[in-house]
Structure 1
Amino acid sequence: MTNPPTQPAISIAIIGGGPGGLGTAIALSSLPFVSVTLYEQSPEPREVGAGISIGRNAWNVLNLLGAAEGVTGGKLGFSWQRNGRTGEPLNLDSGDVAALGGGEKQQANGDEDPRYASIRARRTRLQAALLDKVPSGIIQFGKKLVEIRDPGEGGGVALAFKDGSQAHADFVIGADGIRSVVRRTIFPGHHLHVTGNTAFRVLIPLSSIAHVKDFPAVNGWWHGLNGHLYFARVDDESEPEPRLFEVTIRSYNEPITPDRTATWAIPATNEKILARTGEYDPRIQQVLRAVPEGEWREFAMVAGPCLAEITAWDKVALIGDASHPLSGAFGSGAAFAMEDGWILARALEVEYSRTSSTAIAIKNALEIFQRIRGPYYERMYDFLATREKHSQGTRKEEDADFDTIIKARIAGLGFVAGGKMDWIYKNDIEKVWNEYVAAEQAAKL
């Protein structure tokens, strides 16, 4: 039974225009009873970073959003693990590592549908594919949120922006990333901490390192004592020049200072990069020197504890990194955020048809969202805690030489191999929803 025509529409404000915010805007805009506005702090569409992994979980939700066709990149296939000083391959025997635990992942494609093979893509391409599916007039740029306030029962949510403008919505979705203003407001007791890890990222043409002799320009990691380097092609071989590849450097022991929490996508000099990579193979040094000055971007990694609740006030939801600040631990954050948005749309669609009260519909939809997505993120935190315990039990680096340390580190990746991560990288969010609906119906019998 559907609601009468007099049922009021629901006004929804999405904070943040990254993949999660855009995907959520697409999913919600398909509902005839909602009015969606997305507020993005940047003055124009942009995406920071370098490459992004698109696995089967991401393809699944991109298909549901109608945005899969526009996403192209370099196929990941098999990724090498190497001794950073010599380039010697040190792969696991299984050759099937699901995650490195630092924001970059690798996954054997095996019997995957070739249309949805795991790829590494330019972030800008994912952004563009999603932007193309967002209805016109929904996004407002130059809107940096500075305050979110609860006026009280039945009063929706009040928003204030840096430019002095204000807005009001029945329902607010915080898609504003790991440093979420929405999360800081609704959960003031939740705090991020600087991890001491820093990522330096860049995209450069593959042709720019053609002069580096015997360099294996294939996907993979080069492990050093205090960090690693990740290489991946982000363009398919069929694409025209310049075809780009990504270099991401992880430095494990950066100084932990209060100002580091604000270090995100800031320029880093070539001198700074080279000062952190002196131990690596000479071929790596040549590759790094091929990067034009001013191209590197620095990202200080921050993280926070698991949130018991990812909704608040019966009218606010957190999605993506805002809801689980794990500093890219699984390398699939965009997929998680888009999955969140799609589930919110389905839950709201169901609950709107059951009541004549928009406030109750939103409240009930948020309860569904919490039941489905809350445990999923708790499972991620539990997995990381178990993996860290496993690593502590096998790590004796202070008494070992370099080769032993690196081999032990790579061997430790076996903890996540062997298909144990299918619940993330092959997650089918539509199946998850259908199973929830079936279980709910069965409970009523």
Structure 2
Amino acid sequence: MTSKPVIAVVGGGIGGLAAAAFLHRAGLPCTVYEQAKELKEVGAGLVLAPNLARLLRQLGVLEAMTATAVRLDVGWEFRRWQDGTVLSAEDLRESCADLYGEHTYTAHRADLLAALASAVPPSALRLGKRCVSVTDGTLRFEDGERVTADVVIGADGVHSVVRAAFVEAAAPVYSGLCAFRALVPASSAPEPARRPAQTLWIGPGHHLVHYPISAGKLVNVVAFAPAGGYETESWTATASLEEFLAEFEGWDPRLRELIRAGGRPGRWALLDQAPLRRWSHGPVTLLGDAAHPMFPFFGQGAAQSVEDAAVLARCLASGAEPAEALRRYEAVRMPRTTRLQEASHGRAHVNHLPDGPEQRARDAAFAGRDPLRDNGWIYGYDAGSDPG
């Protein structure tokens, strides 16, 4: 294009702000429309793997993140559910940076959101703007305002209004799994949970992950269990502490101590959705969970949203017409995110095996695996410099 396109981003979460930050860095102004009246992230912890840390460094915000993020010494530490026997563990202190040029961190989602917001001009943010429909490049908001853009980026999550406007996708279905989450004061947590380590306790039908965040002051706990009839998909829904403990009856006492220390947990049902066949239609495209919701078992949801943002900005900055740039973006990103969706989907079965021959074979295989190297296709990818 001979002039800069008018770009509208629907959604001011991690993906939407990352898109705005990379577009701004590429010299492409945009406006972010967020339905909330203030920017906030209601989630808890996340992993900043090297592929995400690399992009935060390119945006100039990684240093700010490390003020509260915890640099991991140990990752992929799998423990047996009954007694905490370590099945395998990765030494991340030096090997991660040696392999991929960046360390792995854990952080509170709110800190990542704030870091990304710092890379976006305040004038580019319009809060309290709930998008209710999209027709080609025209957005209509709940307050009656209409906005027309050359490019519309739907970063509005798994229940995306933008996606519904042009993609005939099957509605997300309940996976049969639910997640519990809690933030535990480090002073109340048992010793294994206070270490700079990402630990996964695995057992029949369940698994639980914990790691420190917020400069080590808190321990993030997220656990997965059969959902039964539970179908509430909300970050603000809660469960009782007794319900959470009941799911982990008979597990290692240290794990149950950690659960008790977290008080009343959050609880939400995990949605399942098959990969989309397309993300773009004319001047409209999707990003992040709107395009590729995935189970959290590889800790890549936020990272893939930020990767989307980096590649999309490069494609739009190439000078191609918007529709062509969006087709290129989709072609580059879709194979990678589909692979991660499928890998994450299969992880639940592996983690939740009942005790028996298959479980013993899995545990034996863990001892001979190197997840840090095996997942080099995830961590070694640089979305900011290699769009395909």
Tell me if 1:425 matches 2:385.
no
1:224 positional shift: 2.9
Amino acid at match of 1:380: L
Separation in 1 of the partners of 2:132 and 2:330? 26
Deviates further, 424-433 or 375-384: 375-384
Hey, what does 1:147 align to over in structure 2?
A: 133
Q: 1:255 aligns with which of 196, 219, 228?
A: 228
1:368 positional shift: 1.6
1:203 positional shift: 1.7
- C-alpha spacing 1:407/1:16, structure 2 compared with 1 (3 Å): farther
Q: 2:200 aligns with which of 207, 221, 230?
A: 221
Alignment of 1:176-191 (within 5 A): 176-191=156-171
Hey, what does 1:358 align to over in structure 2?
A: none
Q: After superposition, give the CA deviation of every residue in 1:285-341 in whole Å (9 maximum; x if it has no partner).
A: 222222234xx22221112111222211x2111111221122234311222111211
Alignment of 1:135-284 (within 5 A): 135-150=121-136, 157-209=137-189, 217-218=194-195, 219=197, 220-236=199-215, 243-251=217-225, 253-256=226-229, 259-260=231-232, 262-284=233-255
Separation in 2 of the partners of 1:41 and 1:316? 19
Answer with 1 or 2: which has the greater Rg.
1
Aligned length, in residue pairs: 381
1:415 positional shift: 7.3
Is the CA contact 2:181–2:266 (under 8 Å) kept in the aligned structure 1?
yes
SS across alignment from 1:82:
strand
Amino acid at match of 2:204: L
Amino acid at match of 1:245: V
SS across alignment from 2:74:
coil
Is the CA contact 1:224–1:279 (under 8 Å) kept in the aligned structure 2?
no
Hey, what does 1:362 align to over in structure 2?
A: 322
Is the CA contact 2:296–2:344 (under 8 Å) kept in the aligned structure 1?
no
- Gaps of at least 5 residues in structure 2 are none
Is the CA contact 1:77–1:107 (under 8 Å) kept in the aligned structure 2?
yes
- C-alpha spacing 1:417/1:365, structure 2 compared with 1 (3 Å): same
Tell me if 1:120 matches 2:120.
no
Identity in percent: 30
Q: 1:342 aligns with which of 310, 318, 336?
A: 310
Separation in 2 of the partners of 1:29 and 1:215? 42
- C-alpha spacing 1:369/1:217, structure 2 compared with 1 (3 Å): same
Deviates further, 56-65 or 277-286: 277-286
Q: 1:18 aligns with which of 13, 18, 22?
A: 13
Is the CA contact 1:225–1:406 (under 8 Å) kept in the aligned structure 2?
no
- C-alpha spacing 1:141/1:162, structure 2 compared with 1 (3 Å): same
Amino acid at match of 2:74: F
Hey, what does 2:79 align to over in structure 1?
A: 82
1:30 positional shift: 3.4
Hey, what does 1:374 align to over in structure 2?
A: 334
Amino acid at match of 1:131: A
1:383 positional shift: 4.6
Separation in 1 of the partners of 2:18 and 2:299? 18
**Normalising by the residue count of structure 1, what TM-score does the alignment of the two structures yield?**
0.77
Deviates further, 163-172 or 67-76: 163-172
Is the CA contact 2:171–2:273 (under 8 Å) kept in the aligned structure 1?
yes
- C-alpha spacing 1:418/1:26, structure 2 compared with 1 (3 Å): closer
SS across alignment from 2:296:
coil
Q: After superposition, give the CA deviation of every residue in 1:166-210 in whole Å (9 maximum; x if it has no partner).
A: 32222110111222222222213332111111111122221123x
Is the CA contact 2:304–2:337 (under 8 Å) kept in the aligned structure 1?
no
Is the CA contact 1:197–1:300 (under 8 Å) kept in the aligned structure 2?
yes
Hey, what does 2:263 align to over in structure 1?
A: 292
Tell me if 1:134 matches 2:120.
yes
1:83 positional shift: 1.8
RMSD: 3.0
Is the CA contact 2:167–2:279 (under 8 Å) kept in the aligned structure 1?
no
SS across alignment from 2:373:
coil
Deviates further, 413-422 or 57-66: 413-422
SS across alignment from 1:90:
strand
- C-alpha spacing 1:411/1:169, structure 2 compared with 1 (3 Å): farther
Amino acid at match of 2:23: L
Alignment of 1:57-96 (within 5 A): 57-72=51-66, 73-79=69-75, 80-91=77-88, 95-96=89-90
Separation in 1 of the partners of 2:381 and 2:270? 26
Q: After superposition, give the CA deviation of every residue in 1:101-152 in whole Å (9 maximum; x if it has no partner).
A: xxxxx967515159831011111111111111110111112222221122xx
- C-alpha spacing 1:8/1:60, structure 2 compared with 1 (3 Å): same
Q: After superposition, give the CA deviation of every residue in 1:257-286 in whole Å (9 maximum; x if it has no partner).
A: 6x43x3333222222222222222222222
Q: After superposition, give the CA deviation of every residue in 1:333-382 in whole Å (9 maximum; x if it has no partner).
A: 22211121121221111125xxxxxxxx1012112212211222233356
Deviates further, 405-414 or 41-50: 405-414
Separation in 1 of the partners of 2:242 and 2:143? 37
Is the CA contact 2:96–2:104 (under 8 Å) kept in the aligned structure 1?
no
- C-alpha spacing 1:89/1:147, structure 2 compared with 1 (3 Å): same
- C-alpha spacing 1:388/1:134, structure 2 compared with 1 (3 Å): closer
